[in-house]
Amino acid sequence: MTNCIFCKIIEKQLPSDLIHEDDKIIVFKDIRPKAKVHLLIVPKEHIKSLAETNTKHATLLAHMLLALPELAKAQGLAHGFRTVINTGVEGGQEIDHIHFHLLGGGILPKM
């Protein structure tokens, strides 16, 4: 989608610190990390937010969810990690292309 930063990263029109890519998702490091490990799991399909998803997205959402423990393991997060999905303005979502945050490395502050 035009003017979407994450679509541009997916299209390689913008650089990223790429960790993983497959037919459905791309995973790269967050440019402003909030933890020692801070990755973004982003689907190649432009979907605005979790609020826009429905049963048509079940396979994709499961793929994104199941990527988390594998990525955490590959990043050495043997003692746990946090997953965040900011949704909409009041949920603090800045980029309107759905993404999961994977955070870890040390004890994270209580929510």
Residues contributing to the site for ligand AMP (CB under 6 A): 5, 16, 28, 30-32, 40, 86, 92-95
Single-letter amino acid, residue 61: L
Can 99 be counted among the known catalytic residues?
A: yes
Q: Which of 20, 46, 57, 63 binds Zn ion (CB under 5 A)?
A: 46
Which does residue 4 bind out of ligand AMP, Zn ion, none, counting CB within 5 to 8 angstroms by kind?
A: Zn ion
| Phi/psi of residue 43, nearest 5 degrees | -75, 150
Does residue 55 sit in helix, strand or coil? helix
Say which residue the tokens 């790269």 belong to: 28
Q: Which is nearer to ligand AMP, 78 or 94 (CB)?
A: 94
List CB contacts of 1: < 8 A, sequence separation 6 or more.
Answer: 7, 46, 97
Q: Which residues bind Zn ion (CB under 5 A)?
A: 1, 4, 6-7, 46, 97
